[in-house]
Structure 1
Amino acid sequence: MAAAYISGAEVLFRMTEGIIFYETGKYSVILFLLIGMFFKGASIKTTPFWIYLIILIPGILVASQTLDYEVVFRKAVAFNLAGPVCLGIAALYCYYKKITGVQFNYILMFLLLPLVCHMFYLFLYTPSIGESLSSGTNSNYAASGYFGPNQISTVMGLGAFLLATRLFIIKVPIINLIDLILFGMISYRAIVTFSRGGVITALICIILFLIFYYYNQSSKGKSSINKKIIFLFTAVFVTWFITSIFTQGLIDYRYTNRDAAGKLEDDITTGRTELIVSELQGFYENPFIGVGVGKAKEYRSEATGFETASHNEISRLLSEHGIFGLLAILILIFVPIVFWFKFKNNYYFMAFVAFWFLTINHSAMRIALPAFVYGLALLYIVDEKKNPVHRKRLAGQ
């Protein structure tokens, strides 16, 4: 719960300078989960994730030889490995860990509440949308609280996803109504960032959740779900319609890849393709040991003249770690898939894995959220009906 709360609040803390240093969120999540492993241990089946963490080490050794002398070695390594290590620790702690459905819902609540708080902060401390449209159809820093629109879009998108799923998991009408209103509000804040990654990711996650949840319901249950799906997507269309009015139609241009004048733009990825190509070039030229942790940014600067941080964790792992990075990616993708086919007891599994994969492909691992959500996908949720908890009777009962 502590790790969930910090993961949800990290971007808000960064915006309001409420943390000790920039990477406090990732280090806090790592610390809380290490404390959990110290007291509760970890599954003996976590060997793949120990291998994943170990194969990150050679990249550090390579970086000690390849990074420029002007670069502070400790900071470069820590900044680039904090996310992957956070992911590894989350996977170690969560993999095969048994948890009840009630406990799982509490964790999601601890993840959601700071996101809702963040949403209200944005409503209170950002200018009106009409005053912040000067950037045209580009990512809108003013509407994002003068912070990274990509990160704001990501966290607001996850909040929208969690609120959407609560409409089906929580079966209390008044709570459903409140969640539906909050869903519209938080979706609006995600959309007006003009950063598409988090919004599209949230929509895909909602669809994946609904597919698996719907498939596992009875005929009577499906009838009730159909009504809620109609309410949910009605809320989506109403939110989009309102946002389109407030943004004077610019949001429609943004999602159809047009500029403020309505002209179709050439690159739908807003320059990310060039970043990926430059990193894959580094992998092509150094396929076995890579260019070293933190060196991809320098390599890109030397090759293209532009010193831009990576937006794609997959290509960065390949570039900086070489064949070890490829092995790390295969572990992170296939271990959860094997786990899913074995148990299939978590409606959120596919949505959480999709959130992790899509997020690291448009926003790298700048925040702890995708790492922690990846870990949640690996929890073993106990079916309390099939596995009732037997409590000892106290003396005199």
Structure 2
Amino acid sequence: MAKTLEFAYGTPHEVKVGDDETTFTLVCKNEDLLVDLTTAKSITAKIGNSSGYLREQLINIDKLANLTTGQFKFNFDKDTLANFPTGNYFLEVWVTNDQGTSIYPSGSPLNFTVTTNIENSSGASITTIAFDDFVQAMNKAASTIAKGDKGDKGDKGDKGDKGDKGDTGPQGEPGQTGPQGDKGDKGDTGTVDNTGLINSQAFQSLQTQVDNSAVGINLLTNSNFASELDNWSVNSGANSDCKATVTTDSDGDTCIHITGTGVACGLYCKLVSFNQNQVTTGSILVKGTGTLNAVGVGYGQTNFGTISTEYYSKVGSTMPAGSNSSIFRIYFNSVNDVVDIYIKFAKLEPGSHATDWCPNPTEILTQSDYAKIKAAIVALGGSLS
């Protein structure tokens, strides 16, 4: 029987370090039916991250009778959060009663985020620097690196003979001024129709800026698959033997090659953290043999049709606000019992507009990296302010 663990509608999905009053309201279901938790002898929240299990905390079960069936409230103890660096974490709930212990959810644990507070000085949050600023700083640093020794000055050559000065010719007389022409008629006032304005380059450029103003951040990590299948899992449907390997395509990009036979093959991201009350958009570049069945958040099926075997296409879907799912998934149905697919540049971002791929903010050059580069430049005899 499939057990699920979800955030109740409107509950936060993140908590700041040291905050013991932010309450997570969680919902336990079994086969999509709410679970009666009032018979539980104990409820334990077990917390982990990508490296494994970290610690656990007992849930106060005295007030369960006052809550909606299947729900319980969870506040972090200050000691629980004291040594947590900011980042993404997993949550499992173990419910013990007279029959034994049930673990929610049956599948991937629920994700939540720990964020830094203004007094946090652990250094876990590292400020990133803009790429253009980095390039400018590197160019400036390169100009300060010591050059080689200057060579000896050569001997001065002999001075040449002075040439004779030519005679100055006579100056010509100025010509007469011509008559002024008549003033031309004033032209008609131009007009711009609405269609012409909308299709103008300036308007289209402005529209693109508006579309991209609230989006663009990639919520996925290792979305360019540079580190094998870190944070990603291969997932198969019934009677399927799906396999996924990291390779390099004909464009020279790292990508995932998915093969298999049967009903369905695909991937899902094991670690996703985002505001489920906000509209999100998922997208990938894909080519090969198969029918793209789903890409984005949750388990809703969206059939995109058969894709090209010759060239990559950018495809995606938008998930409305209020989704209870935290699963980013990419799924294909077979064509003639075969799936042979290449995918790259996966992206999940806020908003309803799929923008060009970019890495997760945590994968961008940080101030720590910058300090190491600065030290190397200084060691070479340069300087970097």
Q: Same fold (TM over 0.5)?
A: no
TM-score, normalised relative to structure 1: 0.19
Higher RCO, Cα 8 Å, sep 6+: 1
Which one has a larger percent helix, Structure 1 or Structure 2?
1
TM-score, normalised relative to structure 2: 0.19
